[in-house]
Amino acid sequence: MQNEIDCLMRVDQGGVVLKEGDSQAWLARLEEWLRTPQGSVYGLPGWGNTMQDYKHEPVGSETGHLTEVAIEAALLRKLRIDLPALGLRAIRCAPENVDTWQITFVTSNGALAVSMNKS
């Protein structure tokens, strides 16, 4: 059984939140990966998400669906390299507002929905 400390060091009444069990640990790793831009980890310059590539793409425009598909494909390709044992089954990217994407991941360990700001 695997455990992970919350990537944002969130706390509750018992202290730092701990993700217990394999499924929760894998979802915690996915959340950490999403909050880590590629190139920001010392010693692992290739690890992390590539969302900065889409920083200047319009959200919710008439061609926005093409950007959504490109983001989904890029995340899928990168996750297979960085977290190969995640068990990713589906990714859905949709505009949430003018500068935020709502990205939903479905894995063999459960689902995770995250709002990703473009900045």
The CATH number of 3-117 is 3.10.450.40
Q: What is the pLDDT of residues 37-96, one digit of tens each?
A: 999 989 999 999 999 999 888 887 787 789 999 999 999 999 999 999 999 999 999 999
Distances in whole angstroms, Cα of residue 68 to Cα of each of 2, 7, 21, 34, 45? 33, 26, 32, 16, 25
Q: What is the pLDDT of residues 16-42, one digit of tens each?
A: 777 777 778 888 889 889 989 999 989
What are the φ and ψ backbone dihedral angles of 95, each rounded to 5 degrees? -70, 135
Write down the domain spans for the chain: 3-117
